[in-house]
Amino acid sequence: MILRLAFFALMALGLAGFGTVAWIATRPPPPDAATLAGAAKVTVLIAVNPVRAGNLLKPEDLKGKELTVREAGDDASSDTADVRQALAGAMVRHSLGVGDVVRTKDVMRPGDHGFLAAVLGPGMRAVSVGVDVITGAAGLIWPGDRVDLILTQAIGDASVPVGRRIAAETVLSDVRVIAIDQQLMEGAAPDGKEGKARTVTMEVTSEQAERVAVATRIGRLSLAVRSADHAPVAVSADPPKTTWASDVSPALGANVAQGTPRNVLHVFPGAAAGTEFRF
């Protein structure tokens, strides 16, 4: 009887041990540290819009998306304010589709060596102009935008009619902005704080670069942003149209509108009485 009980006890212990071993064998191994790290979540930047190779990134082209570390990879761009600022104006080396992760190897930043040479089109030049925040479209211009460059100048000759003492003309039309860099203006703003100025670098032809060099010595430069879906503007050999102060404010040209001559010429043929010409 005792032997029988001992036999059944040994059988029960054996079955319990076998079941325990089988249960352990069927359980997955506990995750190691590397596996746990790969499953951690990170927020990275992805492309919202398709961006072709050679184009410049704009803030609206990017958004954050949460991925695992394994999905993101080692060279994904983290979604932070500093990274977003650094990527604004970066040139895309390889085309990005919607939802593609923006990786460091896919972009060239404005401060990188060879950036300007890489972003310029064949035969084009890079020229920079200084504009303040207001004339620079209040800081709303981004690399990749297309703009017009407008020159405004004041004529100090008192003999010139008042309506012709201020003039504006478009020096460049439909040029691409390739870089923007903030610099401090000389002097101080009226509120006592230092004002901000912007150095805007544009892609131009050699002839346009010469026009910009002259324009910077004549008067004040400002930028006008063009629509994103506009048709390209053909380069014209005609001189730019000038907008005078009297064209903007009829009050400045009121004497002209009423027919009053702006100039009077007296001609005296020898000793004879003079003749007056008004024009």
pLDDT for 180? 83
User: pLDDT for 154-184, tens place per residue?
Assistant: 988 888 888 888 999 999 999 999 888 743 3
Give tens-digit pLDDT for 43-67. Answer: 999 999 999 888 899 888 999 999 8
Structural domains of the chain sorted by starting position, each given as residue range(s) with its CATH number in brackets: 37-108 (3.90.1210.10), 120-257 (no CATH)
List strand residue ranges (DSSP E) for the chain, in order: 41-47, 62-68, 91-92, 107-108, 125-132, 146-154, 166-184, 196-204, 220-225, 242-244, 264-267, 275-278
- What is residue 71's predicted lDDT score, i.e. its pLDDT? 84
pLDDT tens column, 123-164: 999 999 987 655 555 557 888 889 999 999 998 888 888 888
Q: Are strands 146-154 and 125-132 parallel, antiparallel or unpaired?
A: unpaired
Of the spans 64-73, 99-108, 205-214, which averages the highest pLDDT?
205-214
Contact 202, 176 (CB under 8 A): yes
Which tokens go with 44?
A: 């990275």
User: Which residues neighbour 113 within 8 Å (Cβ) at sequence distance 6 or greater?
Assistant: none
Least confident of 89-98, 108-117, 190-199: 190-199
pLDDT at 36: 46
Question: How many residues are given for the chain?
Answer: 279
Comparing 7-11, 104-108, 122-126, 188-192, the range with the smallest average pLDDT is 188-192
195/57: higher pLDDT: 57
Q: Give the global pTM.
A: 0.63
Residues 6+ apart with CB under 8 A from 168: 150, 151, 152, 153, 242, 243
